[in-house]
Chains A and B, each alone.
Chain A
Amino acid sequence: MSETRTGPAFEGAATTTAGRPLIRVRGVTRVYDQEGVPVPALRGVDLDVVEGEFTSLAGPSGCGKTTLLNIIGALDRPTAGTVEVAGHDLSRLSKGEAAAFRLENVGFIFQAYNLVPVLTAYENAEFTLLLRGVPAAERRRIVVPLLERLGLADLMDRRPHQLSGGQQQRVAIARALATGPRIILADEPTANLDSASSETLLEHMLELNRDLGTTFLFSSHDDDVLGRVRRIVYMRDGRVDHEEHAVAVT
């Protein structure tokens, strides 16, 4: 079921449902085994996300948002169904291939920031480039402008524990963007931030979506965040319940 709503001027990249989706999820179920008891987290999800979309998954806790993001990010495997991302059938990937897929195609932003505690902001941001074997000079050429753009120019040498939550999350965005991924998956990226930091973060995400055309798929409970998103996919009990597509009012 699809609905439309009106909202403020949307700054994200113009999206289209035409063409082959970048993310294509069909009939995905995921059942966890908890001490012998099967616990279904997803019960047959279908979802398409087109390149350049800025889409949020919404719904109550336990509805399957994180599980779906993990499966799309090749962090987890579906029990049944197919997931195709950027032309890769994720169900066919080995563990090593899944790691390579993530490195090449996906940037992750997590609720708990998840920066590597022993690395500085700069080192965290360049981490995925390092994993890809990018030379130091090239890493610097990419990472420094990113951090500057995210307002972290003066904080590059700080360790995560020396940064605020908002600053850490911006470092996480820089890390996610450094390799130029086609998709950024974010699990409740603003959940641990105050409203001002949350707003700033959202601005950055929208700006990057608009300027770089990066596809964002993230989960959120935050009404302020959801109010700025073009497409919201509502989930309930492990299924897609309905979607909302916003119409901008200028």
Chain B
Amino acid sequence: MLWRMAWRNLWRHRARTLTMLSAVALSYALMLVAFGINDDGHARMLREAATAAGGDVLVHGQDYWATRASDIVVRDADAVAATVARVEGVRAAVPRVIVNGLAGTAADNRPVLLQGVRPELETELRDIAEDLTAGTFLTGSERSPLVLGSRLVARLEAELGARIVLTGTTPDGEVTRALFHLTGILETGTRELDEVAAYTTLEAAQRAFGMAGAVTQIGIVAEPGVEAEDLAARVRAALAAAGAGRGLEVLSWREAVPEMVALIEIDDALGYIFLAVIYAIVLFSITNTFLMAVKERVRELGLLGALGMPGRRIGRLLLHETVLLTALAMAVGLAIGYTGHRIIANVGIDVASMGIEEMEMSGVDLGEMVMYSTIVPARWIIGSVVIAVATVASAVYPAWRAARLEPAEAMRFYE
């Protein structure tokens, strides 16, 4: 009976019900869409952060990551890489030599971040060649090839084939110089990176900076679905078991770029606060509307009491109305939210068209300047439960007021 009465009561004031329904539905849909965009952005940030860090898990000489000191290296790199590659969940172990140095031409000298890499292994993490605007990415026969960021090339006033001298420090602390030839030009989309990025082959870098058999970093790419922290623990154990753990540090990307983790958490918190403020306004209006409804129907609710309906049951009638309204509004909101998610997931929102040139956070390039949407079921479910509970709870006070009405007084109301 309560459900039937509640349903019919809802539609007695069609305009009012539709107003409340649309407020709940639209704010719920907004929340779902915001979740979708946030979660996709965060997932992209996580991927980009891991890529920018150099892998899901990083192996360095002890304290390298904190100090970036050139004398801290991974010696016997091939053996360490082979041990790491055998760990369950590792898709690839990618060795790198990293040198902070200077690139010089007749025109200028500029600071560079040189990475000596194995191109065929780097593709497990990212395809750097995708950013090429000219030349090739370390695939030619050139013995000392060099690929530079476009802005750096411009500063050095260099062209493909140009001779470029790199100056850096060896692990022994000696400053050394080596000659390279420009074989490729990159445009990463990140201004700062294009100012300093420099790549050569692992062997050329080892040869130039006295690092035979040694590397600065082994980046580990995880199999899909493998948590970086779990993998880092397994790698530590494997290196210890092989007797190669001493003098090495193993970091998950979260440990390597904690500022990115904090940024995502702050972004999440801000998103929740934003949604909470919007929804608080909606809930306030719902409570207010239900209070008005109680006041409008005080005589009728008093009648129910006069006929012998217990107060708590009268209160429940109002709660039933709210439950129905909430269920209906959330069904509509889910349809709108899911449609919005599908559109954004497929078409995307072109941030560049809004005048934002780069999407970069904490030095991490977020790649394409288009926002997409991803459903994380747990977030949608928890968010939906919170909305449902909060909406129904907004009618508790009006229901309590209705339950406490004195029948005789209520029926005298408006007489």
Using CB atoms and an 8 Å cutoff, list the residues of chain A in contact with chain B.
70, 73, 75-76, 95-96, 99-100, 102-104, 108, 110, 114, 116-119, 127-128, 130-132, 175
Contact = CB atoms under 8 A, between A and B. Distances in A.
Given A75-B407, A99-B308, A102-B308, A116 B1 contact: no
B307 A118 contact: no
What 6 pairs across the A-B complex have the smallest Cβ distances? A103-B308, A118-B8, A75-B408, A76-B408, A102-B308, A70-B408
Contacts, number: 54
A131 B408 contact: no
23 contacts: A73-B306, A75-B306, A75-B407, A95-B311, A96-B310, A99-B308, A99-B309, A99-B311, A100-B308, A102-B306, A102-B307, A103-B308, A108-B306, A110-B411, A114-B299, A114-B303, A114-B306, A118-B5, A118-B9, A119-B5, A131-B307, A131-B308, A131-B309
Contact of A117 (B12, B305, B309, B408): B12
A172 B411 CA distance: 16
Interface of B: 1, 5, 8-9, 12, 299-300, 303-311, 406-408, 411
Contacts of A103: 307-308
A69 B295 CA distance: 25
A70 B409 CA distance: 10
Which among A96, A127, A132 has the highest number of chain B CB atoms within 10 Å? A127
B134 to A, nearest CB: 76
Contacts of A127: 307
Contacts of A99: 305, 308-311
By secondary structure, the B interface counts as: helix
Contacts of B309: 99, 131
Given A75-B407, A116-B303, 8 more contacts: A70-B408, A73-B306, A99-B308, A103-B308, A104-B308, A114-B411, A118-B12, A131-B308
Given A96-B311, A99-B310, A99-B311, A116 B300 contact: yes
Contacts of A70: 408
A35 to B, nearest CB: 14
A128 B307 contact: yes
B415 to A, nearest CB: 8
Contacts of A100: 308, 310
Contacts of B406: 76
Contacts of B411: 75, 110, 114
Nearest to A132: B308
Contacts of B311: 95-96, 99
Contacts of B5: 116, 118-119
Contacts of B408: 70, 75-76
